[in-house]
C-alpha cells in the first residue's frame, strides 16, 4: 500500500507526530478542509487555525477533511461532524466550494442556514477564497470570516463560549460584533466588513504543527516567512487581499525550525516573496549549518542572485519555480510584472551554473489584449530556456478575472479561443525535448471564474440547489458593473 492510498483516519493518525490538543473541553469544534487529507495537511492556514482554536481554554478543536461518499469525522475523536458545536471550513480554492456543500449534505444538515434549528451546529466559513468573495456560500453559513484568522478566531470563540444556544440568535448577536465577521442573516445593505490583518506575525506562528508522511510535502516542516507581496500584479487577488509585505523575524523563524529538528531534517520556507525576506541569507546559512534539507515556494525572478542561487543549491533545493506568465515583455509589463525575457534567461543561467537544472515555469493565456503573437512568444521563450540544458515543466493557466483586482471586471476568453490557443501551444511545445507541459481544463477554469465572481443567487444555483453551470455569458461578458460587485461587502482598504 502506497502512502497516499491510506484513507482510514485511524491509520493516518498513527503516522502523525506533533501537537495533540486536550480533547475534553466544554465546547467542541471541528475544522474541515474540503479536499483530501494530503492537501489539508499541506495547508499552513488549516494547520495554524487548528492550533489557534485549541489554545482557547474552553474549546477542543478536531480536524476533518472531505472524503467522497463518507460523512466527515474528526480524526482525533472519531465523532461525526454533526455532533460538534461548531463546524468551521477553511477554503483556499473556489472549486472546493463543491466539496463544502458535499460535506454538509453527507452530514445530514440542511444546506440553508435559515432552515436549520438552533440545536444544530454553528457553521463558520473562512480562508482566502471566501475573503476574496464571501457571497457564493452566504446562504449556507451562519458566519463568514474575512482576512487573517489568528486574532479573529480567538475573539470569535470568546464570543461563542458565552452564549446559551448552539447556533441561535444569541450567538449571532454576540459574534456579529467581532471585526472581520460577516453574518449573512443580519447583514444590511451598504455595510462593509473590514477584513482582518495581523501585523505582528511573530505573535502567531503559522507553521506545521502536525507532521505526516501522507501529505504533499512528506514529513517536511513548513513555516511561513512572510505574508503579502506588494508587487500588485494586476490579476492576482491575493496581492490585494493581503496588503503590504509583513515579515517574521529571523530569530522567530530559526527558533521554530530548531525546535523541530528532533522530528525531521526537512524544512520548507513558505510565502509569496520568500527571497525578499531581509534576513534570507542568514536563514539559509543556519539551515545549511544544521544540515537540513530545505525547499522554498516559488521565487520572484528579480530575487535570484549568484549568492542566493548558491545557497538554494547548498540547502538542497532541486527545482526552481518561476512565473513569467507571458513570453512577451510588453504584455508582462501590462500585468505589472517588471522583468524581461532577458532577465529571466539570465536567472536560469544562474541556476544552471549552480547545477539546478529542473525549472518549473508558469504561463497564462487569455490575458485581455493578448494576440497570437503572444502565444507564439511563449513557445519561443520556452525554446530559449530549453536550449540552456534544463529540464522544463510548464504549467499553462487561463486568465481568470478575480475580485478586488484591477482586472476584476474583465471578460474571460471564450471557450473557443482558449481551446484554439491551447492547440497552438500543443502543436509547438509537445515537440520540444526536455519540456513537459500541463494544460488547463477549460470547463474547470470557467467554473472557477463563475464562483470567483458569483453573487448569492449564482452561488445558490451552482452549489446548493444542484444546478451546474450558469449561463456562460455571465463570465464572457464584455465587462461587469464595477459599482455593483457582490464582493464589495468586504472592505480591503
Phi, psi of 48 (to 5 degrees): -65, -45
Are 168 and 213 part of one and the same domain? no
| pLDDT over 60 at 281, yes or no | yes
Are 286 and 337 part of one and the same domain? yes
Are 417 and 375 part of one and the same domain? yes
Are 205 and 190 part of one and the same domain? no
The strand pair at 266-270 and 226-227 is best described as: unpaired
The predicted pLDDT at position 34 comes to 97
Are 126 and 165 part of one and the same domain? yes
The predicted pLDDT at position 191 comes to 87
Least confident of 173-182, 222-231, 255-264, 468-477: 468-477
341-371 pLDDT, tens digit each: 999 999 999 999 999 999 999 999 999 999 9
| pLDDT over 60 at 471, yes or no | no
CB under 8 Å, gap of 24 or more: what pairs does 427-432 form? 428/376, 428/379, 429/379, 429/382, 429/394, 432/382, 432/383, 432/386, 432/392
Please state the pTM of the whole predicted model. Answer: 0.94
Kind and range of the H or E run holding 378:
helix 372-386
The predicted pLDDT at position 85 comes to 98
Q: What would the 3-class secondary structure string for 327-352 be? A: CCHHHHHHCCCCCCHHHHHHHHHHHH
The predicted pLDDT at position 467 comes to 57
User: Residues 283-312: what's their mean pLDDT?
Assistant: 92
Domain closes at, from 162, 194, 226: 194
Residue with cell 495547508: 43
Q: Residue 304 in contact with residue 321, Cβ under 8 Å? A: no
Q: Residue 127 in contact with residue 102, Cβ under 8 Å? A: no
Closest C-alpha among 69, 139, 145, 134 to residue 103:
69
Are 138 and 107 part of one and the same domain? yes
Domain closes at, from 151, 179, 194: 194
314-347 pLDDT, tens digit each: 999 999 999 999 999 999 999 999 999 999 999 9
Domain closes at, from 171, 194, 217: 194
The predicted pLDDT at position 303 comes to 86
Instruction: State how far the Cα of 466 lies from the Cα of 300, in Å rounded to an integer.
Output: 41
Sign of torsion, CA 3 8 11 16?
Answer: positive
Q: How many structural domains are present in the chain?
A: 2
Kind and range of the H or E run holding 124:
strand 122-126
Are 205 and 150 part of one and the same domain? no
Rg (CA), the chain: 23
| pLDDT over 90 at 7, yes or no | no
Instruction: State how far the Cα of 396 lies from the Cα of 412, in Å rounded to an integer.
Output: 15
CA 85, 65, 41: angle at the middle one, nearest 5? Answer: 115
Closest C-alpha among 238, 213, 218, 216 to residue 228:
238
| pLDDT over 80 at 100, yes or no | yes
425 three-class SS: helix
28-48 pLDDT, tens digit each: 999 999 999 999 999 999 999
Per the model's pLDDT, the better-predicted residue between 482 and 454 turns out to be 454
The predicted pLDDT at position 6 comes to 77
399-448 pLDDT, tens digit each: 999 999 999 999 899 989 999 999 999 999 999 999 999 999 998 999 99
What value does the mean pLDDT of the chain take?
92
Instruction: State how far the Cα of 211 lies from the Cα of 475, in Å rounded to an integer.
Output: 41
The predicted pLDDT at position 244 comes to 83
CATH number of the structural domain spanning residue 14: 3.40.50
| pLDDT over 60 at 477, yes or no | no
The predicted pLDDT at position 2 comes to 41
Are 205 and 265 part of one and the same domain? yes
User: Residues 4-31: what's their mean pLDDT?
Assistant: 91
User: Residues 215-235: what's their mean pLDDT?
Assistant: 92
Q: Give the domain range for residue 447.
A: 201-491
145 three-class SS: strand
The predicted pLDDT at position 143 comes to 98
Per-position DSSP letters for 214-261, written without gaps between them: SSSSTT-EEEE-EE---S--TT-HHHHHS-S-EE--HHHHHHHHHHHT
| pLDDT over 60 at 473, yes or no | no
Cell of 405: 483586482
| pLDDT over 50 at 97, yes or no | yes
CA 149, 84, 76: angle at the middle one, nearest 5? Answer: 85
Strands, E assignment, 308-423 = 319-325, 358-365, 391-398
The strand pair at 246-247 and 226-227 is best described as: antiparallel
Q: List all residues 6 or more positions away from 316 whose beta carbon is below 8 Å from its beta carbon.
A: 292, 293, 294, 295
What is the b/e burial string over 391-417, where b = at least 16 CB atoms within 10 angstroms of the residue's CB? Answer: ebbbbbbbbbbbbbbebbbbbbbebeb
| pLDDT over 60 at 476, yes or no | no
pLDDT-above-90 percentage for the chain: 83
**At 468, is the pLDDT very low, low, confident or very high (cuts 50, 70, 90)?**
low
Q: In Å, how far are 54, 57, 128, 171, 339 from 121, measured between CA atoms?
A: 18, 20, 23, 11, 50
* Total Cβ atoms within 10 A of residue 194: 13
CATH number of the structural domain spanning residue 282: 3.80.30.20
CA 11, 15, 16: angle at the middle one, nearest 5? Answer: 115
Are 356 and 250 part of one and the same domain? yes
| pLDDT over 60 at 139, yes or no | yes
Are 180 and 110 part of one and the same domain? yes
| pLDDT over 60 at 311, yes or no | yes
Are 59 and 95 part of one and the same domain? yes
Kind and range of the H or E run holding 126:
strand 122-126
Residue with cell 471566501: 130
Phi, psi of 225 (to 5 degrees): -90, -35
Are 236 and 158 part of one and the same domain? no
Amino acid at each position: 500500500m502506497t502512502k497516499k492510498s491510506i484513507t482510514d483516519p485511524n491509520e493516518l493518525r498513527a503516522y502523525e507526530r506533533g501537537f495533540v490538543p486536550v480533547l475534553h473541553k466544554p465546547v467542541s469544534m471541528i475544522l474541515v478542509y474540503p479536499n483530501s487529507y494530503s492537501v489539508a495537511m499541506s495547508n499552513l492556514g488549516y494547520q495554524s487555525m487548528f492550533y489557534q482554536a485549541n489554545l482557547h481554554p474552553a474549546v477542543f478543536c478536531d480536524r476533518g477533511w472531505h472524503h467522497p461518499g463518507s460523512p466527515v469525522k474528526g480524526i482525533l475523536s472519531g465523532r461525526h461532524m454533526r455532533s460538534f458545536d461548531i463546524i468551521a471550513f477553511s477554503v483556499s480554492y473556489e472549486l472546493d466550494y463543491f466539496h463544502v456543500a458535499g460535506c454538509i449534505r453527507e452530514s445530514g444538515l440542511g444546506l440553508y442556514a435559515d432552515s436549520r434549528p438552533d440545536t444544530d451546529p454553528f457553521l463558520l466559513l473562512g480562508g482566502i477564497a471566501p475573503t476574496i468573495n464571501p457571497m457564493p456560500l452566504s446562504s449556507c453559513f451562519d458566519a463568514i470570516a474575512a482576512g487573517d484568522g489568528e486574532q479573529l478566531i480567538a475573539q470569535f470563540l470568546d464570543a461563542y463560549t458565552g452564549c446559551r444556544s448552539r447556533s441561535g440568535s444569541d450567538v449571532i448577536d454576540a459574534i456579529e460584533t467581532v471585526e472581520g465577521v460577516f453574518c449573512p442573516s443580519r447583514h444590511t445593505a451598504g455595510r462593509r466588513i473590514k477584513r482582518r490583518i495581523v501585523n505582528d506575525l511573530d505573535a502567531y506562528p503559522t507553521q506545521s504543527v502536525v507532521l505526516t508522511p501522507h501529505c504533499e510535502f512528506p514529513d517536511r516542516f513548513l513555516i511561513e516567512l512572510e505574508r503579502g507581496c506588494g508587487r500588485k500584479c494586476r490579476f492576482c487577488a491575493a496581492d490585494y487581499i493581503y496588503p503590504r509585505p509583513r515579515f517574521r523575524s529571523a530569530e522567530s523563524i530559526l527558533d521554530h525550525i530548531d525546535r523541530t529538528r528532533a522530528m525531521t531534517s526537512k524544512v520548507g520556507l513558505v510565502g509569496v516573496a520568500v527571497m525578499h525576506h531581509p534576513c534570507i541569507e542568514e536563514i539559509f546559512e543556519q539551515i545549511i549549518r544544521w544540515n537540513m534539507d530545505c525547499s522554498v515556494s516559488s521565487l520572484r525572478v528579480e530575487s535570484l542572485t549568484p549568492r542566493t542561487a548558491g545557497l538554494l543549491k547548498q540547502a538542497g533545493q532541486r527545482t526552481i519555480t518561476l512565473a513569467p506568465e507571458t513570453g512577451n515583455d510588453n504584455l508582462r509589463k501590462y500585468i505589472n510584472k517588471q522583468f524581461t525575457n532577458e532577465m529571466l534567461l539570465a536567472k536560469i543561467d544562474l541556476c544552471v551554473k549552480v547545477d539546478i537544472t529542473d525549472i518549473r515555469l508558469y504561463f497564462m493565456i487569455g490575458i485581455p489584449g493578448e494576440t497570437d503573437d503572444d502565444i507564439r512568444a511563449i513557445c519561443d521563450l520556452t525554446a530559449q530556456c530549453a536550449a540552456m540544458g534544463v529540464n522544463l515543466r510548464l504549467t499553462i493557466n487561463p486568465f481568470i478575472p478575480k475580485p478586488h483586482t484591477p482586472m476584476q471586471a474583465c471578460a474571460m476568453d471564450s471557450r473557443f479561443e482558449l481551446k484554439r490557443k491551447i492547440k497552438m501551444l500543443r502543436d509547438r511545445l509537445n515537440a520540444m525535448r526536455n519540456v513537459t507541459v500541463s494544460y488547463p481544463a477549460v470547463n474547470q477554469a470557467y467554473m472557477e471564474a463563475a464562483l470567483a465572481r458569483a453573487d448569492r443567487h449564482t452561488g445558490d444555483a451552482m452549489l446548493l440547489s444542484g444546478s451546474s453551470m450558469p449561463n456562460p455569458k455571465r463570465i464572457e461578458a464584455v465587462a461587469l458593473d464595477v459599482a455593483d460587485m457582490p464582493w464589495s461587502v468586504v472592505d480591503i482598504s
